[in-house]
Amino acid sequence: MARVYNFSAGPAMLPTEVLTRARDEMVDYQGTGMSVMEMSHRGKHFVGIAEQAEANLRKLMNIPDNYKVLFLQGGASTQFGAIPLNLGNGSGKADYLNTGHWSVKAIKEAKRFVDVNVVADTKPENFTTLPAEGETTFSPDADYVHYTPNETIAGVEFPYIPDTGDVPLVADMSSTILSRPIDVSKFGVIYAGAQKNIGPAGLTIVIVREDLLGKSRENTPAMLDWATQAEADSMYNTPPTYAWYMAGLVFEHLLAKGGLEEMGKINERKAEKLYAAIDGNDFYRNPVEPAYRSWMNVPFMLADDSLDKTFLEEAGRQGLVTLNGHRSVGGMRASIYNAMPEAGVDALIHFMNDFAKRHG
Amino acid sequence: MARVYNFSAGPAMLPTEVLTRARDEMVDYQGTGMSVMEMSHRGKHFVGIAEQAEANLRKLMNIPDNYKVLFLQGGASTQFGAIPLNLGNGSGKADYLNTGHWSVKAIKEAKRFVDVNVVADTKPENFTTLPAEGETTFSPDADYVHYTPNETIAGVEFPYIPDTGDVPLVADMSSTILSRPIDVSKFGVIYAGAQKNIGPAGLTIVIVREDLLGKSRENTPAMLDWATQAEADSMYNTPPTYAWYMAGLVFEHLLAKGGLEEMGKINERKAEKLYAAIDGNDFYRNPVEPAYRSWMNVPFMLADDSLDKTFLEEAGRQGLVTLNGHRSVGGMRASIYNAMPEAGVDALIHFMNDFAKRHG
């Protein structure tokens, strides 16, 4: 079959050029006679791959020199525990913004280790909105503030970076990293599971300001201690080498395409036209307050949900797949990360209009 | 370049047939129009891949029904912490056998959480031997006993399973799993990082007897809690899907080759001939007591270590690579896991004999 447009929330599409290159290098990487998967992580070939990937990520995101970049295993869910273990050793208090499914999970895990103060909560609005800029009051004695800039399930995204003063800001950027330029210097810690905008599942990037290292709580497992990982250049143990390599290919691809400025323009355009198609047709509905709609995850409902199954089947036959909404929400969801071509969004809009005409 | 014989201790060789198949399926997995890397872990395609992999591993290892099989991230080093957190909640005491580099690391991490009693220690012998069967006395009130059946650096391997009575036996099988048949029912927990005999780095298999689940210590991070992972079929968060798929291809390949009985015969033969070549030539030396020599990791020294560099260079030119010993030991090390063909061992022996003749 031809390549499909896969709207999965993650693991998600990867650029076809990246997959093709990975295919061509699979059995023999650049004349080494071995696959990247087979290389010692301490050998010169893999160390070269790893260093180049980090250099390219630093360039893409313009990461200041006083930040470490870690390539870890375990997923953002592992960091939900690592964050309070690494940072919650001062007052033992932390501020959290509760703005969706992933915030809820981060808060639940943090409560095992620190006193969590929920300083903003949009659950009463079913996570369809966000606190306005400047509206949230933070605790001056918190060890850190945590938030989720983009929530994949309800499809909300902060259009601003909360100002937390001197308290380090920690952001779960799993579903928004690399989608547009950001000012890394505003953050204490940025972390992201790879499987949306970076590469295959099994890799998590942690970008941490150096002065926040080395303060972990007693009984922090060594593998979750950022300082331990930073000292070992993310090779305290064997890292997920193949995922690291794939991430490097994606970074290289993004640089060649014009970097995050260019991705931001394309992503904004993709999102705008999809929301316009939804808003412009009574057959579809997106419940999120327009100012806070996500560029990456676009949930929408059919006016008649008895047509959901037909919608998914017909879409699938046209190569538009994984459009089902999260099991906790229902309806549809189109995740349109960097690797979703604009042509894929166009094809979805075309199908949606046609489907509405035939069934509306 | 042609495929090389790569003697890396891990990440290590994978069967060429497996890599070729992965290459062919990279851009479009079996007509789905997407790569396995791009699939939602909750979609039917990936769930099928995941279940088949587990079924094949159960068949290969003859895993009893009262054991859960977990596919996790993080590496054996993560389990060094997870083991005391999951099992050390009774007396808070654990017995450890200290028989090499990896035992040392497991003990160091366990001490953060439980009282460690070292019941056997071969460090005085520089880890070149092991306790004889029946020689070790275990503590009846320990929560568990931990050992490392095969140590990759010194190259020692237990030819027996320690009898710990009713105390659960926990084994780090990273470098010996799947190399020969074992009786899983003798163990409480078996765990193994994938990057030696299973698949790519970034996946760790944990095989745990069901009655040991659900007893974790307070403050165990959710991701390290085996019960949480078992309840979620290893999908508490997004698992390392591509590594899981690759492991499945390896399991299928091993079954087609005759399973672990057959692998055991081949591995024994490969090891025997390599040790015979070392012992039969004064130019080479392996310091390990013969009864405890590893089938998987064969360290050896040249009589004149000023020739080490020349040995590695000449070997490399013949496609025999990553033969350097661990940086803590020096000399040479040939890791000859399942995926190292017997022809690779033959080529190494031929080269060693020739090198000795020319330089001896």
Residue range B75-116, pLDDT digits in tens = 999 999 999 999 999 999 999 999 999 999 999 999 999 999
Give the start-to-end residue ranges of the domains of chain A. Answer: 5-16+259-359, 18-256
What is the rounded CA–CA span in Å between residue B189 and residue B208? Answer: 4
Q: Which of B235, B237, B213 is nearest to B225 (CA)?
A: B213
Option in B1, B28, B40 nearest A8 (CB): B40
Q: Compute CA distances A141 → A45, A168, B207, whole Å.
A: 46, 11, 44
CB atoms under 10 Å from CB of B112, counted, come to: 16
* CB–CB contact B246 A319 (8 Å): no
Query: Is A318 within 8 Å of chain B by CB?
Result: no
Residue-wise pLDDT for B113-167, tens only, equals 999 999 999 999 999 999 999 999 999 999 999 999 999 999 999 999 999 999 9
Three-state DSSP class for A347?
helix
Specify the CATH number of the domain B17-256.
Answer: 3.40.640.10
Q: In what order do the strands lie in the sheet with B332-335?
A: B284-285, B297-302, B332-335
What is the rounded CA–CA span in Å between residue A170 and residue A187? Answer: 6
Option in A82, A219, A327 nearest B112 (CB): A219
Residue-wise pLDDT for A255-304, tens only, equals 999 999 999 999 999 999 999 999 999 999 999 999 999 999 999 999 99
Quick one: CATH architecture of A5-16+259-359? Alpha-Beta Complex (3.90)
Q: Which fold has domain A18-256?
A: Aspartate Aminotransferase; domain 2 (3.40.640)
- Residue of chain B minimizing CA distance to A243: B202
pLDDT attached to residue A360 = 82
Residue-wise pLDDT for A23-72, tens only, equals 999 999 999 999 999 999 999 999 999 999 999 999 999 999 999 999 99
* CB–CB contact A109 B201 (8 Å): no
- Over the range A55-68, which residues count as b (16 or more CB within 10 Å of their CB) and which as e? ebbbebbebeeebb
How do beta strands A189-193 and A169-172 pair?
Answer: parallel
**Which amino acid type is present at position B172?**
D
Query: Is A340 within 8 Å of chain B by CB?
Result: no
* CB–CB contact A238 B203 (8 Å): no
- Grade residue A1 by pLDDT with cuts at 50, 70 and 90: low
Three-state DSSP class for A191?
strand
pLDDT attached to residue B328 = 82
> Fold match between B5-14+259-359 and B17-256?
no
| Owner of token pair 């997106």 | A286
Mean pLDDT, to the nearest integer, of B224-230? 98
Residue-wise pLDDT for B344-353, tens only, equals 999 999 999 9
CB atoms under 10 Å from CB of A280, counted, come to: 11
CB atoms under 10 Å from CB of A2, counted, come to: 6
Query: Is A31 within 8 Å of chain B by CB?
Result: yes
Option in A32, A42, A200 nearest B241 (CB): A200
Residue-wise pLDDT for B178-190, tens only, equals 999 999 999 999 9
Quick one: DSSP state of residue A188? S
Catalytic residue of the set A68, A172, A270, A295: A172
Say if CB B8 and CB A38 are below 8 A apart.
yes
Q: Which long-range CB contacts under 8 A does A44-47 form with residues at least 24 apart?
A: A46/A241, A46/A245
Say if CB B298 and CB B275 are below 8 A apart.
yes
* CB–CB contact B201 A241 (8 Å): yes
CATH class of B5-14+259-359: alpha beta
pLDDT attached to residue B1 = 58
